[in-house]
Amino acid sequence: RHSKNEADLNLAQARMRDLDAQLNVKEADLATALNENRGLENELRELKDQVVTLQVSLEDTKKHLHSEMLRRVDLENHMKTLQEQMMFQKRLHEDELKETKRVHESRIAEMESGRQREFESKLSDALQGLRKQHEEQIQGYKVELERTFSAKMENAQLSAARNSEFANAAREELMETKLRVDALTSQVNQYQSQNVALETRIRELQETLDYDRDLHRRRMAEKEKEMALAQQQTQAQLEEYEHLLDVKLALDLEINAYRKMLEGEEQRLKLSPSPSSHSAATQATSQGRRFLHGKKRKLKEAKKRGHSAGFKTVQHASSSGNVSIEEIDADGKFVRLKNNSDEDQPLHGWALRRHLGSVSDVTYKFPPRFTLQAGQVVTIWGAAAGVSPGPSDLVWKSQKSWGAGYNIGVTLITDDGEELAERKIMHVPREESGEQDDDYEEITGSEMEFPSQTKRRRKKKCCLVS
């Protein structure tokens, strides 16, 4: 489940990265659209400036046209024979002026309301001024109208035609500009709607990711609780197994002691050995081997330690790897390890943890790049051991000794936290027997006597009795 959760988390992270990439692309598109919008706005402002220029030129042309038409009206007023025609032209001029004013007012209404009112006021002022000027100049133009009417009439018609063409062109250009502005506005609205949709999608994905993270965090917490509970159960079973193993060893030692007492009585009474004792001896011989281990030296050490006559020291060792704990000094001077394999074993990151009764555990860490050669041993001395360590030995500088007592335990821990080997020194009551010479012996059991704790690895158990 943990790997599945990690895969889901990786998938969610990959999906988040894809969404981030899509968001970056959309943001880049939005920035491009905004730049284009700013460019189009600049073009719109330029077109508005051009429209204003054209309007100014149109106003100038209209003013010129109005002046010409007024001159014509003045000439018509001065002409007696053409008075009716002049009145007609004057009314025609006024109609055209009203039409132009209406068209101009409609255009101004499409632009800005403020400019419209300004233009209307200016136009009305200009018309009033022109009318006043017309009334003042009527008397002076009566004589000149007869001579210049024909020429001025032709010039006025040509100017009107040119002005109408300019006005039509300006009108068409203004319509095109309005269409372009509408298209750009719709495009900007579309981009804004897309941006809003993308932001909504991003928020939804962020909420989904937060929910997945919370769910994964809760599941991981549950898994850690389950693992801690499983570890506690495993530790409890391991302690129970070790306790049963210690009880079995004590019972085996008692059986061995009683068997020795029985054999001593049979020898003293000169009786033939019973088949049951012979089979028991054969079974004990098949299960393990015994050998003497420095009787005199161990007796002297036992006298130095002040062993009582009613107790004995038992060393219990176990190993599930290539490296084992060969010996623990009862005085706490050293601990000795051995590489039982044919290959060198790096001990970088490994540690030895000492258990001493009710005292808190202490840990010795091996130096970096330290390697235990194949088939070799290494001795870790205490700082107050009072010996000169060899070239392959180590010194625990932070501790004076490994501790003295009868409930000492040392565990070898790998860099992964796995307990690879262990050795304990226990003080148990001594059983009376006929053979008091065997004061120190080592008993190594078979694999059937000490079953494995896991399916992967089988542990070897041994016991030292002194």
Tell me the two tokens of residue 315. Answer: 């060393």
What residue spans define the domains of the chain? 231-266, 311-429
86 close to 72: Cβ distance less than 8 angstroms: yes
pLDDT for res 218: 92
pLDDT for res 79: 75
The whole-angstrom separation of Cα 99 and Cα 209 is 68
For the chain, the residue count is: 466
Tell me the two tokens of residue 433. Answer: 């027997």
pLDDT for res 405: 66
Write the burial class of residue 330 (CB in 10 Å: 0-12 exposed, 13-18 middle, 19+ buried): buried
pLDDT for res 168: 87
The whole-angstrom separation of Cα 372 and Cα 392 is 9
Gyration radius from the chain CA atoms: 57
| CATH class of this structure's domain 311-429 | mainly beta
3-state secondary structure the chain: CHHHHHHHHHHHHHHHHHHHHHHHHHHHHHHHHHHHHHHHHHHHHHHHHHHHHHHHHHHHHHHHHHHHHHHHHHHHHHCCCCHHHHHHHHHHHHHHHHHHHHHHHHHHHHCCHHHHHHHHHHHHHHHHHHHHHHHHHHHHHHHHHHHHHHHHHHHHHHHHHHHHHHHHHHHHHHHHHHHHHHHHHHHHHHHHHHHHHHHHHHHHHHHHHHHHHHHHHHHHHHHHHHHHHHHHHHHHHHHHHHHHHHHHHHHHHHHHHHHHHHHHHHHHHCCCCCHHHHHHHHHHHHHCEEEECCHHHHHHHHHHHCCCCCEEEEEEEEECCCEEEEEECCCCCEEEEEECCCCCEECCCCEEEEEECCEEEEEEECCCCCEECCCCEEEEEECCCCCCCCCCCEEECCCCCCCCCCEEEEEEECCCCCEEEEEEEEEEECCCCCCCCCCCEEEECCCCCCCCCCCCCCCEEEEEEC
Distances (CA, A) of 38 to 27, 180, 181, 191, 253: 16, 14, 12, 14, 98
pLDDT for res 454: 36
**pLDDT tens digits, the chain, 466 residues: what are they?**
678 888 888 888 888 989 988 999 999 999 999 999 999 999 999 999 999 999 998 999 889 888 888 887 777 677 777 667 667 777 888 888 888 888 877 777 777 666 667 777 887 888 888 778 777 777 777 777 777 777 777 887 888 888 888 888 888 888 888 898 999 999 899 999 999 999 999 999 999 999 999 999 999 999 999 999 999 999 999 999 989 998 999 899 999 999 998 988 888 887 755 544 444 444 443 344 333 334 334 434 444 454 444 556 777 888 888 899 988 887 888 999 999 999 899 998 899 998 887 778 889 999 888 899 899 999 999 888 878 888 888 988 888 888 876 678 899 999 888 888 998 887 665 654 444 444 444 444 333 333 333 333 344 444 343 3
Compute the half-sphere exposure of residue 325: CA atoms within 13 Å on the CB side of its CA. 32
Tell me the two tokens of residue 74. Answer: 């003045």
pLDDT for res 415: 87
461 close to 322: Cβ distance less than 8 angstroms: no
Tell me the two tokens of residue 280. Answer: 């028991």
73 close to 90: Cβ distance less than 8 angstroms: yes
Overall pTM surpassing 0.85 (yes/no): no
